[in-house]
Structure formats: C-alpha cells, structure tokens
C-alpha cells in the first residue's frame, strides 16, 4: 500500500508553527494582515475567500475582505490596490482569480507591490523564483514541496515529470523541483508520447484539470504521485487528475483528493503573509 501524503495533517502541523510565529510578531507590535479582493459572485471564489478568512482568524492574523460588484471598473480596482499598497497594517494583498472578463488580470497582478504579493504572481517574484532567490513561494507548488519534505521524500537526483504548464502551478512547480535538484520534464497538451514520459518519473505531478487523467499504465512502479487536480467525476463526486483507486497500488506515495494538496495551498498563503509581516519587524 502506498504511503498517503496527508495534506490535512501536514497543514495542521505547519499552521501550529505559523501560529507561534504570529504570536511572536504580535508581541513585537506587528499583527500580520492579509487583504483579499473578490470581484463578482463566482461561487468557487467565494468558498476560497471564506476559507482564507477563516485561516487568518484561526492563526491570529488580521483579515480584511473587499467584495466588489461584478461591474467594478478597472480604475476602481486599481485604486483599491493602490490604497492597500500604502497600508502599513496590510502585509499581503491577494486578488482572487479569475476576474470578470472585462478586467485586466495582468494589470492588477502587476499593480500589487512585490513585497505584498503573497500569491507570488508578480513578475518580480516570478523572476526571483527563476534565479533561485525567492521572497515568496507560489502557494500550491510550495505546498507540494512541503508535503514531500515532511513525507521524507527528497527530490535530489530523481526524475520528476510535471503534467501542466500553467503560471500558477505547472511552471513554478517545475522550478521548485529543479531547485531541489530533481531532473525535471514539463509535459502539456502538445507533448508526444506522454504516457511513456510519465512512466519515467520517480515523482509525477498532475496539474491538468481533467478528472482521473493519470491512469495506472502511466505510472512507474514505486513512483511518488502528486495530484493537484480538483475535479468532478461522471457522478459529480470530487476527484483529482489521478485515478486514485487504480494508481495507489502502483505508487510508493500518493496524495488523496480531497485532503492532499488542497489544504496546503491556503496554509502556504498564510506562511507568505507571515513572511511579509516579519520583514517589517524592527530589530
């Protein structure tokens, strides 16, 4: 039976550590503060924002939410970001994506100050990650690395394959694995011989957004399988990008969905917010 990489348990352990550091920050006069901007009424985005607020409050952080109407203009949104940039009590700013189609997401991401960009989407932070000098780590890939570390899995010298090349998960995931001394291949919709490449992986990360896309015949016996997907199967049941029932007997370690990578994402967001606050502490 494969080792289960339990995101709930690891997330709880990391949050205990974060809570201690938040308490120390507050003792020194700084309460880590996160501002979350939500434009429109997308139900999934609302759930994510609620979970972020709950996490902040549970850890003793300041949480501010700005729920804007779906018809908010670009100018109004940019003005809000500019005002939050200047707030000394706000250390992290997050604009929940996706935005309504009439708004320019890239312009908003670029407008958030890099030292408050706790999603690590700003080009400055992306560039820092590329050269191995990150201030903030992208939340989902950082959560994956934490799961590997606490699961006793060292990527060094291993062959890692990432399926998916998004700016949010696939690309930064590849960079973090590379920084951990893995040999990394990134696969995508144009990749030829995908199954054969996946079978070479000691660590296989699936981030494609297609339910049960990774099947047992795509997995090398004994591989570590990380499922970043959050999908619905043909019965409407929550599942991942990996066919868990079929792959689990083949893998040496695997993340479940739900309860694997998902809980880690918000926890790493909290860690980034703490990092931003600690940078403002006076010696």
In the set 96, 117, 158, 202, the catalytic residue is: 96
Instruction: Tally the C-alpha atoms within 13 A of residue 186's C-alpha that lie toward its C-beta.
Output: 14
In the set 52, 116, 212, 220, the catalytic residue is: 52
Alpha helices in the chain (DSSP H): 7-27, 43-59, 74-85, 105-111, 123-130, 139-150, 170-179, 194-198, 244-247, 262-278
In the set 119, 202, 227, 241, the catalytic residue is: 119
- Residues 121, 137: Cα–Cα separation, whole Å: 9
Annotated active-site residue 26? The verdict is: no
Annotated active-site residue 231? The verdict is: no
Looking up tokens 């090349």 gives 165
Closest C-alpha among 140, 133, 143 to residue 166: 140
Token pair in block for residue 8: 């709930």
Token pair in block for residue 248: 């689990």
Annotated active-site residue 119? The verdict is: yes
- Residues 84, 233: Cα–Cα separation, whole Å: 40
93 φψ region: left (φ > 0), alpha (ψ -120 to 50), beta (else):
beta
- Catalytic positions, written as ranges: 52, 96, 119
């Amino acid at each position: 039976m494969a080792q289960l990489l339990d995101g709930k348990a690891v997330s709880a352990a990391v949050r205990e550590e974060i809570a201690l550091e938040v308490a120390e920050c507050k003792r020194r006069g700084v309460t880590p503060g996160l501002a979350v901007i939500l434009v429109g009424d997308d139900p999934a985005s609302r759930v994510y924002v609620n979970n972020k607020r709950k996490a902040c409050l549970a850890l003793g952080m300041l949480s501010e939410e700005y729920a804007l109407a779906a018809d908010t203009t670009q100018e109004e949104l940019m003005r809000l970001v500019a005002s939050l940039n200047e707030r000394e009590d706000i250390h992290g700013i997050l604009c929940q994506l996706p935005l309504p189609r009439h708004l320019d997401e890239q312009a908003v991401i670029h407008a958030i100050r890099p030292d408050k960009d706790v999603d690590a989407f700003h080009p400055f932070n992306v560039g820092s990650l590329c050269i191995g000098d990150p201030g903030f780590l992208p939340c989902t890939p950082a959560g994956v690395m934490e799961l590997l570390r606490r699961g006793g899995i060292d990527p060094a010298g291993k062959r890692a394959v990432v399926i998916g090349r998004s700016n949010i998960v696939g690309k930064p995931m590849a960079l973090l694995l590379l920084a951990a001394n893995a040999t990394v291949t990134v696969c995508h919709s144009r990749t030829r011989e995908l199954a054969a490449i996946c079978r070479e992986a000691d660590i296989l990360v699936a981030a494609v957004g297609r339910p049960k896309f990774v099947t047992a015949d795509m997995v090398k016996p004994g591989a570590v399988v990380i499922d970043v997907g959050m999908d619905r199967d043909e019965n409407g049941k929550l599942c991942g990008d990996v066919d868990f029932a079929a792959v689990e007997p083949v893998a040496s370690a695997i993340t479940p969905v739900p309860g694997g990578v998902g809980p880690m994402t918000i926890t790493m967001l909290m860690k980034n917010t703490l990092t931003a606050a600690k940078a403002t502490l006076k010696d």
